[in-house]
Amino acid sequence: MAVLKLDLLRLARTGTGVLNVDVPADSPLWATSDLDLRAPVRVRLQATPVGQGGYYVVGTLGATVGLQCRRCLDDVVQEVNEPIAMLFQPRDEAGAEAGSAEVYDLEVGQTEFDLAEPVREQLLLVAPTYAVCRTECRGLCPRCGVNLNEETCVCAAPEVDPRWQALRTVKLD
Ligand SMILES: [Zn+2]
Ligand SMILES: [Zn+2]
């Protein structure tokens, strides 16, 4: 599994920690996510100490996600590049202002933290859940199921003039 760990001792010493990792699409980390990842997930994070022993971790998650167009069920690939923010702080510590950041507990005396699970959660939050292949997608015919982007069907056609209908019947006979 790709390493998504931050060395807290080093972070405390240098005042900043950077995590630039591409986690493979087939990593066990995403195995239970139901996401159809088509490329490695780009994790770009920066950590800075904050408050009493806390850390603020911000950056972006980039992913290439395969989805089905909700109208015509065609394959759609969406690029995601979303900012994320997480605040890690010791339990029971009246710490930094979380703002919009997701808050995670940090154990006292912890020397590294594993961002795998938080990153997994964040990816699930920012990943697209539905897509439309294009705004003018006409979808599938609700009656016969043909893809209306590719062909037309008679279901939605205007009512046929009864006189023509009669002729057609004759022809069929
Ligand atoms: Zn479509
Ligand atoms: Zn139809």
- Mean pLDDT, the chain, whole residue set: 86
**Span 44-52, mean pLDDT?**
90
List the beta strands (DSSP E) in the chain: 5-7, 17-23, 36-37, 41-50, 54-68, 75-90, 102-106, 112-114
Half-sphere exposure of 79 (CA within 13 A, CB side): 2
Give how far Cα 135 sits from Cα of 68, 81, 168, Å.
14, 21, 37
Centroid of ligand 1 to alpha carbon of 140 (angstroms): 8
Which pLDDT belongs to residue 29? 92
* Residue 99: band (very low, low, confident or very high) from pLDDT cuts 50, 70, 90: confident
Centroid of ligand 1 to alpha carbon of 49 (angstroms): 46
Instruction: Report the percent of the chain where pLDDT is more than 90.
Output: 55
Q: How do 102-106 and 75-90 pair as beta strands?
A: parallel
Centroid of ligand 1 to alpha carbon of 133 (angstroms): 4
Q: Is the pLDDT of residue 83 over 90?
A: yes
